Structures are given as C-alpha cells and as structure tokens.
Amino acid sequence: MKPSFPFYYPFLVSSCLVFPFSFLLRGEREAISSFPSYFLFSSLCAEAMATGQLFSRTTQALFYNYKQLPIQRMLDFDFLCGRETPSVAGIINPGAEGFQKLFFGQEEIAIPVHSTIEAACAAHPTADVFINFASFRSAAASSMSALKQPTIRVVAIIAEGVPESDTKQLIAYARSNNKVVIGPATVGGIQAGAFKIGDTAGTIDNIVQCKLYRPGSVGFVSKSGGMSNEMYNTIARVTDGIYEGIAIGGDVFPGSTLSDHILRFNNIPQIKMMVVLGELGGRDEYSLVEALKQGKVNKPVVAWVSGTCARLFKSEVQFGHAGAKSGGEMESAQAKNQALKEAGAVVPTSYEAFEDAIKETFEKLVEEGKITPVKEVKPPQIPEDLNSAIKSGKVRAPTHIISTISDDRGEEPCYAGVPMSSIVEQGFGVGDVISLLWFKRSLPRYCTKFIEICIMLCADHGPCVSGAHNTIVTARAGKDLVSSLVSGLLTIGPRFGGAIDDAARYFKDAYDRGLTPYEFVESMKKKGIRVPGIGHRIKRGDNRDKRVELLQLFARTNFPSVKYMEYAVQVETYTLSKANNLVLNVDGAIGSLFLDLLAGSGMFTKQEIDEIIEIGYLNGLFVLARSIGLIGHTFDQKRLKQPLYRHPWEDVLYTK
C-alpha cells in the first residue's frame, strides 16, 4: 500500500532540499510526483544565498589538500584580473607546516601551510572561502570542520562520490548556520574579474578567450563543471560575458541548487540576465519553476535541460553525474524544459539553439537600454614558466632560500618585522635582538635579561678547556680570526658545552612524565646514559658553581614559574647522595631554566617548545656566548705575539 500524503507531508516540509528520492521505490516516487514541487525541493535559502554576491575582488580562500596546479591557476587569474592581493591566503595540508612557493604574476610568493583547519582559520581570519580538494573519503569530515569555523562562509567541495548521508548533514548544518556549500562533485565557481575556485574555467588561454578577466552582465549556473567551461565560451561569443558562474555539482544532493543561485543573481544589480543549464534527473529545476511562477525572478532567464536523448533508450540510463538519471517522467529533460518554458523562461528547441536564444535575449536587453555592454580591456600577459618557455621577459625563476626572520629590502633592515631604527630607539639589548631573530617575537624583558645573563656567564671559562685550548693553538699557528674561532667551536659537543639541549630534553621528559628523581636517575643509569647537566670536574656539593647560583637567584626572583628548575635541583639532591661531584652544572641550570622561560612566558605552544629543544636553540646560546671568549683568546695570543705551540714531551705517555 502506497503511503498517503499526510504521512509524507511533515517530512517533506522539514527536509527542504534533502528529500531522499534515491531511497524510494519507483512506485513511491510516482505516488508523490503529483505534489507541488516546492514541497520537495523548495528553495528555502539561507540569508547568505539570498543577499547576492558570494565573492569579490578582495575575497580570499583557504585551500585544503595542496594541489599545485589549481592554486597556481587561481593566482594567475588574480594577476590577470589586476587583483592587489592573492586570493589564496593559506594552504591546509594535514600533518605539514611551513610555506609553499608559488607565482603571483612575475613575483614569487610564499603561501603559509597549516596542519589543521583551525590553525589556518585563526591565522587568516579574513579568508572566508574554503576550497576542499580532499578525496571523497575525507571530504565530508573536513568540510564539516570548516563549516564549524566562524570565519568560513562558503565551502566548495570538489570530490565526487561523497556519501549522500554525509552530504545531507553538511547541507542541513550549512543552512541552519547561514552558510553556503557548493558541490560536492563540482569544479567550483567564478566571479569574472574578481575570484575563482580552483580549476574553474580551465587554462588561462580559455579564461582570456571567455573574457573572464573582467565582469560581464550574465549570471550563469549549471550542474556540470565541464559544460560550464563550454558555456562560458558560448556566452562570451554572443554577450559581453558572464558576471558570475557557478557549477553546483552533479551529485544527487547538491549543497546549493540552481534556484538558490538564480535568486541570488536576481539580487545582484550588475547581472541583467541569467542562463541556466540543467540536466535530467532529480527535481531541482522545479524549484526554479516555482520561483518564476511566484514572480521572485524579474530578470530574463534562458534555460535548457540537457538529456533529451534519454528517451531514445529502451531502459533507464545513468549519465555521467550521479544525479543524471531520470526517475520518472517529471525528472525527464523534456518535462523540465516544458515546465520552465511555461513558467516564463526562454527555452530553445534544442541545445544547438541555446546560443541563439542567449544572443537574442541579450540583444533585446541592449536595445531596451537595460544593458550597456562592457567595454573591452586588454588583460596583462601572464609570464610563462621555465618548462614551457625560455624567452627574455617571460621566464619565472624560483628562489632558492626562504627567510622569515629578517628583511633587508627597503630603506632599513628589519628583524622579524621590527625596523632597525625602532630597535635602537626603544633601547633594545642583545637579548631582545636574539628574541627577534631566534624566536621571531619580542619576549618580556625578564626573558631577554636572562638570555643576556647566560651569555655573560658562559662567555669564557679560562684557557684550559678544550675549546679555548684549540683556539689558542690555532692562533699561535698564525691562522686568522675565523679559523681560530672555528677550531674552538668545533670542540663543542656532548662532552664540552653541548649538553644544554640534552639536559633540557631529559629534564622535560622526566618531569612531564611525572618521574621521581630516583626513577629518572636510575632509568638513565640502566640505559648507560649520564644525566646531562649533572656533574663537574672541579665543583662539589660544598663548593657550588657560582654561575648556577646566580642563574637560580635571578629565576626565582623574576620568573613566574620555576618548576623545571626545582625538579633539576631535586635530581641534584639525589645525585649528590651518590657522589659529591654530581652537582647541577651550568648546562643543567640553563637547560632547566630555559624550559621555565618557554613554558612560563605563555608565548610558546607545547609544539614550539619541543621544536626549540629539538633544533638546538639552547646549545646555540652556549655557542654564541663562548664565541666571545674564543675571539678574546685569539686576540690575546696575537697581541702577545706567541710562537707556534708545541706540546711538551713530558706531558705525553709514550707506550707500545
């Protein structure tokens, strides 16, 4: 027994555009085919769809799942249109961070790469379009994540084959939150002279031929991306070109409908006429029929529904798109074309006559004075890449270095964006400069003061340590300053001055895992690893290193937290119970206190702290500091005119 109207009515009204025809049997489809079409696919558009333009010349997008060619095509289109800023603000590549080098005209630019959608949206709050090039397996999840970001207004889903249940959830969420979904299974959309999504309109040559580098007077919407490219060319031949074109996608449940965009075009003053290319299957076109009948569209609409050849086949035919499959007479191309014609749209007798219908409508509007054809402009020449042309003035050569810490272009150098004059005028010290060049931010004064204290305390430790000894020997051999300095620096490593990073790494790991000093020390012993930052050849428990005491005093007085330092002190207490020389040395003090600086300042994320330790920033402090002393020893030997050093025989054990 077929369900009666009262059974379906509440669901039809509440579901709006997402009534699941594909889940109905043929008989059930026919049972409801007599209902008014707006019950099935009524275009209850959200405000974002009703207000008009989706894009502008300042629109910026976030691009999900890096694809070089679509992004470069977007940037080339930007340049062609004379945009001042690139339309791609950032790239989201899960698990990756950094920059991607691309071209913006002749100039090479670095576009930031973010590992998460949330991070990208936070970094680029003005980017309100999300272009999703994820596969059909992950497109729904990433699109929903983007829709939930307050900065994202439009989501374009390129992938085909997104599960219909997932698509329905995306549509429902988007409409309830006043957002727009284009796709799935779409090439995207374009606003001529302003913004385009991914591969929309194809190559630059096609874009130029279709006059898409400047706005025209026609609004175009289609289900098919491939046919959109064809229609852009057709429209450009017989009109002044399109103002905006959208391919809603060929899946059964598109995120936005033909009528959504026609109603939107109707509210854009620059659009004087609309062109629609539908296809057999589904009932989307009937929502446009209802809009025309109800007088919601007051601009000429030229429409054609493709798929009239389906009647030539004896059985039901599935065309290229998932939604291009007739589920009954009302879903046939002939029925839709007839309904559109009766509602007031200009419908030709065939696709071949479509171009003439568009031309006649446009020319009529020109005669009536409703359209003043756009004056043609000559677009700029897009430089060719190296692999396609090696000609003077047409070649773009990639850069070989990326720098984010300083910039010497312009009137004065900048450190992390801070002009040199500002650094001097504000009385910045060496610690401030290090914070800008090493950490790319201005740290609080107590942090930069701590850095300066570390440099002062570690600048030199006498002529007998290995680094100073090597420098002295090299200087006495008549070598230059750089050679003498480098010979000393090359001794820095795990056994001399290079234990700061290891001390920080092991103390942090032990503290974060909640290990007691006993558990930490004994676990290191079992691994055969000496605890970095513990132990001294001269200092003892009753003769502490004055440098360590000074650092600890400064930190306890100025740092908001010294949890890592206190943990290191507890470890020292335990190691001193084993041997009197197992004291916390200057490496361990700096390593633990730098952890407190990074964690306590509130200016670094956990990931940044781990990266700083891994890269070797803390050992960099020792290298920088000890360079001062090594340079001093070089000058000292040369000033004293010391001869070539030869090690005395009596200090060598000769043995077999």
Q: What is the pLDDT of residue 428?
A: 95
Q: What is the pLDDT of residues 343-376, one digit of tens each?
A: 999 999 999 999 999 999 999 999 999 999 888 8
Q: What is the pLDDT of residue 224?
A: 85
Q: What is the pLDDT of residues 83-105, one digit of tens each?
A: 999 999 999 999 899 999 999 99
- Model confidence at 14, pLDDT cuts 50, 70, 90, reads very low
Q: Are 485 and 469 in contact (CB under 8 A)?
A: no
87-96, 303-312, 431-440, 645-654: which range is least confident on average? 303-312
- Model confidence at 33, pLDDT cuts 50, 70, 90, reads very low
- Model confidence at 537, pLDDT cuts 50, 70, 90, reads confident
Q: What is the pLDDT of residue 137?
A: 94
Q: Are 9 and 31 in contact (CB under 8 A)?
A: no
**Residue 399: is its pLDDT beyond 60?**
yes
- Looking at the DSSP bridge assignments, the partners of residue 497 are 493
Q: What is the pLDDT of residue 538?
A: 87
Q: What is the pLDDT of residue 168?
A: 95
Q: What is the pLDDT of residues 459-497, one digit of tens each?
A: 998 999 999 999 999 999 999 999 999 999 999 887 787
Q: What is the pLDDT of residue 195?
A: 98
Q: Look up the pTM and report it.
A: 0.65
Catalytic annotation present for 321: yes
Q: What is the pLDDT of residue 494?
A: 75
End-to-end Cα, the chain, rounded Å? 106
Q: Is residue 98 classed as helix, strand or coil in its secondary structure?
A: strand
**CA gap 412, 390 in Å, rounded:** 35
**Residue 26: is its pLDDT beyond 70?**
no
Which residue among the candidates 114, 124, 261, 321 is catalytic per the annotation?
A: 321
**Residue 29: is its pLDDT beyond 70?**
no
- Model confidence at 619, pLDDT cuts 50, 70, 90, reads confident
Q: How would you list the strands of the sheet with 188-191, edge to edge?
A: 195-196, 188-191, 242-247, 218-222, 273-279, 301-306
**Residue 43: is its pLDDT beyond 70?**
no
Q: Which two tokens stand for residue 573?
A: 């207490």
**Residue 313: is its pLDDT beyond 70?**
no
Percent of the chain surpassing pLDDT 70: 88
**Residue 27: is its pLDDT beyond 70?**
no
- Model confidence at 214, pLDDT cuts 50, 70, 90, reads very high
**Residue 30: is its pLDDT beyond 70?**
no
Q: String of b and e for 361-390 (b: at least 16 CB within 10 Å)?
A: bbeebbeeeebeebeeeebeebbeeeeeee
Instruction: Report DSSP letters for 101-133, one per residue.
Output: EEEETTEEEEEEEESSHHHHHHH-TT--EEEE-
Q: What is the pLDDT of residues 558-576, one digit of tens each?
A: 999 999 999 999 999 999 9
Q: What is the pLDDT of residue 388?
A: 72
Q: String of b and e for 320-329 (b: at least 16 CB within 10 Å)?
A: ebbbbbbbee
Instruction: Show Cβ contacts of residue 533 under 8 Å, excluding neighbours closer than 6 positions.
Output: 499, 500, 502, 503, 506, 507, 568, 584, 585, 587, 588, 589, 591, 592
**Residue 398: is its pLDDT beyond 70?**
yes
When the pLDDT of each residue in the chain is averaged and rounded to a whole number, the result is 87
- Mean pLDDT, residues 385-402 taken together: 70
Q: Is 393 left (phi over 0), alpha (psi -120 to 50) or beta?
A: left
Select the more confidently predicted residue: 37 or 253: 253
> Burial level of 358, CB count in 10 A (0-12/13-18/19+)?
buried
Q: What is the pLDDT of residue 394?
A: 57
- Model confidence at 322, pLDDT cuts 50, 70, 90, reads very low
Q: What is the pLDDT of residue 392?
A: 61
Asked if the bond preceding 184 is cis, omega within 30° of 0, the reply is yes
- Model confidence at 327, pLDDT cuts 50, 70, 90, reads low
Q: What is the pLDDT of residue 23?
A: 30
